[in-house]
Structure 1
Amino acid sequence: MPIFDRTKPFNDLPLLPLTEDITNDIDVLKKLVLASRALATVNSNVLRLPNPLMLVNTIALQEARTSTEIENIFTTEDELYKAITDTLKEEQNNTAIKEVIRYREAMWAGYQNLDTNRGIDLETITRVFQQIKNTTSKLRSPQAQVVIKRGQSEFRAGEIIYTPPRGGAIIESLMKNLIDFLNDDQKYVDDPLLKMCIAHYQFEAIHPFYDGNGRTGRILNLLYLVQKQLLIQPVLYLSKYIIINKEDYYYHLGAVNQHRAWKNWILFMLNAVENTSLLTSSLIDEIIKQMAETLAYGKANIKWYNKEINETLFSQPYCKPANLAKVLKRSSRTTLTKYMDELVTAKILTPRREGKEIYYLNEDLIRILQS
């Protein structure tokens, strides 16, 4: 194996599949069973929802916020939830909020592309990147001197820790190989979960775009699981595990670069899938339970309260009268305000004034999402 030099372009990045016999390792196979079982639990819980799409945006928003935190773009749930009520114009939102909302939109763009292209291709991956970065750029240019450095808060700040492959033909060839690996199940017969783990490393090592590769790669993970029908909706909350274990994540990535330490990387990623599947499943359990309690309470205390209203109130943590207008089939501002006041009196919603705007919080949902 050639000596790895962090300061030189990794143009010798090996093509897939792996030459290492990792798929028959007993530790990997045991962890694969546990991760697959936990992932199946998420799917069964999503199917329990009255509308499987109802909570995707809420959970996707958590994934988006956490994924951007990994790359040090911070925002609070409070700011973010208000932004997605669609009552604020984009130019009123700060940069961090825009980044998170673009991540969510990028995930949906990629998800919709799966139906159009019937697979993950370079167009889908590029569209996700472009949505995240709000750009028309494509694969990074051959002359771009892209390097990965330690952050300013880290020991030996500014030190080069990785130099991705460089050269247009090289990047295009590596991406073609990666996409073939993901889509050709006859030539590359590994279990889809193992392929996701391997492909995630390969994508981050190729680093095909000038920026946003981490977020693009994490969305690619979810899209691939949906494509392979291991997830029916892109609701797996993977980024929380990665940010909690951020140092291990980058350590294992680097260990594959330098030592081809595939086993520990795959075990880390399978553990991420297992733990996040259990977390996501528990999150859905709690939301479903709270929805049922709120529906029973609402119907007992408000004569017009029904299942559709309840689902609307649990579709996102903040709402405005306009969010209920379509369900209530009422357009009068006075009437809608009266209904909102009844929800407040019943303590189903809590009002919060921000300047001239009033937002109505579903504090039960916020409590669950922030736990």
Structure 2
Amino acid sequence: MQVLLSQADRALGRLDGSIQTLPHPDLFVYMYVRKEAVLSSQIEGTQSSLQDVLAAEAQILAPDRQQDVDEVVNYVRAMKHGLQRLPDLPVSVRLIREIHAELLQGVRGSHLTPGEVRTSQNWIGPGGCSLNEATFVPPPPQEVLEHLSKLESFLHSDTPLPLLIRIGLAHVQFETIHPFLDGNGRVGRLLITFLFCEQEILLKPVLYLSYYFKKHRQEYYEQLQSVRDHGTWEIWLTFFLKGVIEVSRQATETARRILQLREDHRQTITEQFGRVAGNGHRVLEHLYQHPIVSVNEVQELIGTTYQAANELVSKFVDNHILAETTGQSRNRKFMYRSFISLFHDELAEDDS
């Protein structure tokens, strides 16, 4: 356990350092957050892909768009809400309720009291099973607030336990309390992200740990249940730390590839765009936070005529930086595909 803890600490340190070396780190957090949102939601059965989410945010209304994409968009919003609140509100029952309300707003489960701790019994098991057939029955509703209060006290106690161990324990305990009628898995995984950032283990939310949980989904569920049935905390923590190590290294490599891609495309713009290279660089930086754009958006960004913006976008297309995605002559959208693929390729490999 000590060896794994040491390796996890080093891997997280490298990841945090690699993100800090990126120019304008906040620009690059955008895709890490959306990757985590997609994967965490897929664990719960959604089918939406990273590209679906980006298209939805860019207001591309594809006829084959997954209906559950709004659930993933809500996950992104819940994470952003929680991170914005952290400077003023520590990880607490209040914050957990707030992000739960954001998560379920206007989507499947929105009728199940978003933001409110359950007042009825729930259970975990195969679809349609009864309480007697359940794999696990969480605490009765009258005990939930007490258990959440104890969890909150544990998170902010002076225990000498290493932070990673404390976070691993907290995730299982939250999932075991199962305080809401829906969304417990996603909130529990958001809790990991908030704790990493609150404790300044990572300065930015760039650890998409749900990649590991989804890759080992059956083992993930079995490990959680084994702790409840048999108290196998050490086995769970070993699993958790191995996940932190694997995903930290993967996310660090992604940061390296982002930096290389940016340098390559900056060089292309400098060499190929002539007198509009300055505006080209502005658009390139914009693409890291908005990887799907329209000519109108580019026009607004650089403050030129529509014709000038259209000519600039054409240079991006001619140099294989952007690709048109709609196939239309009007209301066209252009995708920064090579950047998206740095994140999307791993998702596709996991699904294969």
TM-score (norm 2): 0.89
Matches within 5 A, 1:87-166: 87-88=59-60, 94-117=66-89, 119-134=90-105, 135=110, 137-142=114-119, 144-151=120-127, 159-166=133-140
Measure, in 2, the Cα distance between the counterparts of 1:174 and 1:148.
Answer: 18
Deviation beyond 6 Å, 4+ runs, structure 1: none
For structure 2, the residue ranges without an aligned partner over 5 or more in a row are 346-352
Matches within 5 A, 1:42-53: 42-53=15-26
Please tell me whether the aligned partners of residues 298 and 348 of structure 1 are also in contact (alpha carbons under 8 angstroms). no
Indicate the RMSD between aligned Cα atoms, in angstroms. Answer: 2.2
Q: Is 1:360 the equivalent of 2:331?
A: no
Q: Which amino acid is the alignment partner of residue 52 of structure 2?
A: E
Which residue in the other structure is 1:193 paired with?
164
Please tell me whether the aligned partners of residues 139 and 209 of structure 1 are also in contact (alpha carbons under 8 angstroms). yes
Q: Is 1:34 the equivalent of 2:11?
A: no
Equivalenced residues, count: 332
Q: Is 1:73 the equivalent of 2:36?
A: no
Aligned residue for 1:53, secondary structure, equals helix
Please tell me whether the aligned partners of residues 52 and 66 of structure 2 are also in contact (alpha carbons under 8 angstroms). no
Measure, in 2, the Cα distance between the counterparts of 1:141 and 1:80.
Answer: 30
Question: How far did residue 199 of structure 1 move?
Answer: 0.1
Which residue in the other structure is 2:294 paired with?
320
CA distance change for structure 1 residues 302 and 122 in 2, over 3 Å: closer, same or farther? Answer: same
Please tell me whether the aligned partners of residues 30 and 288 of structure 2 are also in contact (alpha carbons under 8 angstroms). no
Structure with greater proportional helix content: 2
Q: Which amino acid is the alignment partner of residue 358 of structure 1?
A: R
Please tell me whether the aligned partners of residues 291 and 314 of structure 1 are also in contact (alpha carbons under 8 angstroms). no
Question: How far did residue 59 of structure 1 move?
Answer: 1.2
Q: Is 1:228 the equivalent of 2:205?
A: no
Q: Over residues 177-218 of structure 1, what are the superposed CA-to-partner deviations in whole Å (9 max), with x where a residue is unaligned? A: 11111112x2x2211110000000000000011110111011
Aligned residue for 2:321, secondary structure, equals coil
Aligned residue for 1:149, secondary structure, equals coil
Measure, in 2, the Cα distance between the counterparts of 1:230 and 1:140.
Answer: 29
CA distance change for structure 1 residues 56 and 322 in 2, over 3 Å: closer, same or farther? Answer: farther
Measure, in 2, the Cα distance between the counterparts of 1:309 and 1:362.
Answer: 11
Measure, in 2, the Cα distance between the counterparts of 1:151 and 1:74.
Answer: 18
For structure 1, the residue ranges without an aligned partner over 5 or more in a row are 1-27
Q: Which amino acid is the alignment partner of residue 115 of structure 2?
A: K
Aligned residue for 1:116, secondary structure, equals coil
Measure, in 2, the Cα distance between the counterparts of 1:364 and 1:291.
Answer: 10
Q: Is 1:63 the equivalent of 2:36?
A: yes
Which residue in the other structure is 1:9 paired with?
none
Please tell me whether the aligned partners of residues 344 and 350 of structure 1 are also in contact (alpha carbons under 8 angstroms). yes
Which residue in the other structure is 1:21 paired with?
none
Measure, in 2, the Cα distance between the counterparts of 1:37 and 1:230.
Answer: 11
Q: Over residues 211-230 of structure 1, what are the superposed CA-to-partner deviations in whole Å (9 max), with x where a residue is unaligned? A: 10111011110100101110
Measure, in 2, the Cα distance between the counterparts of 1:267 and 1:195.
Answer: 13
TM-score (norm 1): 0.84
Which residue in the other structure is 2:238 paired with?
267
Please tell me whether the aligned partners of residues 312 and 323 of structure 1 are also in contact (alpha carbons under 8 angstroms). no
Q: Which amino acid is the alignment partner of residue 230 of structure 1?
A: I
Which residue in the other structure is 1:295 paired with?
266
Q: Which amino acid is the alignment partner of residue 283 of structure 2?
A: I
Please tell me whether the aligned partners of residues 172 and 224 of structure 2 are also in contact (alpha carbons under 8 angstroms). yes
Aligned residue for 1:95, secondary structure, equals coil
Measure, in 2, the Cα distance between the counterparts of 1:316 and 1:179.
Answer: 36
Q: Percent identity?
A: 24
Q: Which amino acid is the alignment partner of residue 42 of structure 1?
A: L
Aligned residue for 2:324, secondary structure, equals strand
Measure, in 1, the Cα distance between the counterparts of 2:149 and 2:248.
Answer: 30
Question: How far did residue 326 of structure 1 move?
Answer: 4.5
Question: How far did residue 122 of structure 1 move?
Answer: 1.4
CA distance change for structure 1 residues 327 and 261 in 2, over 3 Å: closer, same or farther? Answer: same
Measure, in 1, the Cα distance between the counterparts of 2:175 and 2:3.
Answer: 26
Which residue in the other structure is 1:179 paired with?
152
